[in-house]
Amino acid sequence: MSLQGTPADIVANADADLSWLEGLYKTFHRHPELSGAEEWTAARITEELGRFPDWEVTTGIGGYGITAVLANGDGPTVLIRADFDGLPVAEATDVDYASTHSQLDEQGRRVPTMHACGHDAHTTSLLGAMTLLDATRERWSGTVVALFQPAEEASTGAHRMVTDGLADLIPRPDVCLGQHVVPGPAGRVFTAPGPVLTSSTTVEITLFGRGAHASMPHRAVDPVVLAASVVMKLQTIVSREVPPDKFAVVTVASVEAGKASNVIPDSARIALSCRFYDEVLRKKCVDAVKRIVRAEAVASGCEREPDFRFLGLLGATDNDPGVFDIVRPDFDAHFGDESVDMEPWTASEDFSVLPKAFGVPYLFWTVGITPRRQWDRAERSGRLDVDIPTNHNPAFLPDLSSLPVATEAAAVAVLSCLGHEWPERPADEGEDGDRPSESDVEATSVETSRAD
């Protein structure tokens, strides 16, 4: 028996000091770093891991990735991940621990940085969960892998840890766990089986026309007009090709062409962000994007084929129903009415790259962080969409009461999985970093920033 007692009972009776949680969270919050440039944050996490002498720590995995492993006798191996990068956002909260930090981005411009996605809360909570698990190790056996991941916002961090030999550095997990803070009543824990986060496909398209003097359009193949018709025609994919009861997003998020009013440029660039729950539908829509862009280029008389660059391809986060069935009753037991069903979220995550690399099942859940009074007021006035800041908004700020909840959720879920017997899985079941293959596509990893 690898558990003595229930996860809820073990966590509720843990003799652990978590009085440092808030202070450490505020320290991380004050000092956000861009994806791939988390040098200070990784060093700070490593310093905190010094408090856990029995956990074997490995740093510098795929950049600034870190693992800490506690081998505590026979039993399953459970991996739990927290990400720790920030965003190029200027914080607009009024707390005394608001970020005033800035960093150089990949173009060498100084940009303000903010933990606008709550990754500082994830990291603090995982250190908190390690404290609970460390303090209760007489009551469980097995192996816990705490994984701290950089560069989630660039969709490259998990992939780089996997391709840098993660599998050789840690014991193979039986199951992987992860969590994210979201707008919602602070301290509410949301779980669901099946697809909970979308897949994400980012496409950069270059359209090649022919440049000319602006007064001589008959001598040009105008890529500005071509880009305009491509943008409009792409809107018909979701409205005319996707079944009305299916979810799909095809957003043209960027259009760039020309620098001067008297020059017809020779090319235009558009960038798309596409989101899906269903892989078959994703392939269909990506094919439609290529078909429309190529056909519009032909219709405009382009002599050169458009160029497609697929960046940051990510699979959907599709929770294993078996892991959900194991963890959810323990969340219900520990959190009572605050353990509720999760609605699918249209955002995307690279978390699932980790379990897919090992060929093992996973569960990803969310924790609400909005102060209750603010949430209730917005809900009463029907203004949730207007008044509650989403992740990546300059006013996104976790209520401090959500920190112990995310900490306990992580510990309960790990214990829940330690108490289960997992089937043997063949070692070659994993995928190498979960890059959906596109035959005519170059999957390029993106470095979004460099250290200042």
Instruction: By CB under 5 A, name the binding residues for Zn ion.
Output: 117
Instruction: State the minimum distance, in angstroms, from the CB of residue 249 to Zn ion.
Output: 16
Core vs surface per residue 236-266: b (16+ CB within 10 A) or e: ebbeeebeeeebbbbebeeeebbeeeeebbb
Residue closer to Zn ion by CB (options 29, 334) is 29
Instruction: State the minimum distance, in angstroms, from the CB of residue 2 to Zn ion.
Output: 31
Residue closer to Zn ion by CB (options 160, 420) is 160
State the burial class of residue 64 (Cβ atoms within 10 Å of its Cβ: 0-12, 13-18, 19+): buried
Give the C-alpha separation, 386 to 378, whole Å.
Answer: 8
Residue closer to Zn ion by CB (options 117, 410) is 117
180 is in an annotated binding site: yes
Residue closer to Zn ion by CB (options 117, 418) is 117
Q: Is residue 350 flagged as an active site residue? A: no
429 is in an annotated binding site: no
Q: Is residue 38 flagged as an active site residue? A: no
279 is in an annotated binding site: no
285 is in an annotated binding site: no
First to last CA, the chain: 50
By Cβ distance, which residue is nearest to Zn ion? Answer: 117
38, 48, 83, 85: the active-site residue: 83
Phi/psi at 197 (5° precision): -130, 150
Binding residues: 117, 119, 153, 180, 392
- Residues with a catalytic annotation lie at 83, 153
Binding residues for Mn(2+): 117, 119, 153, 180, 392
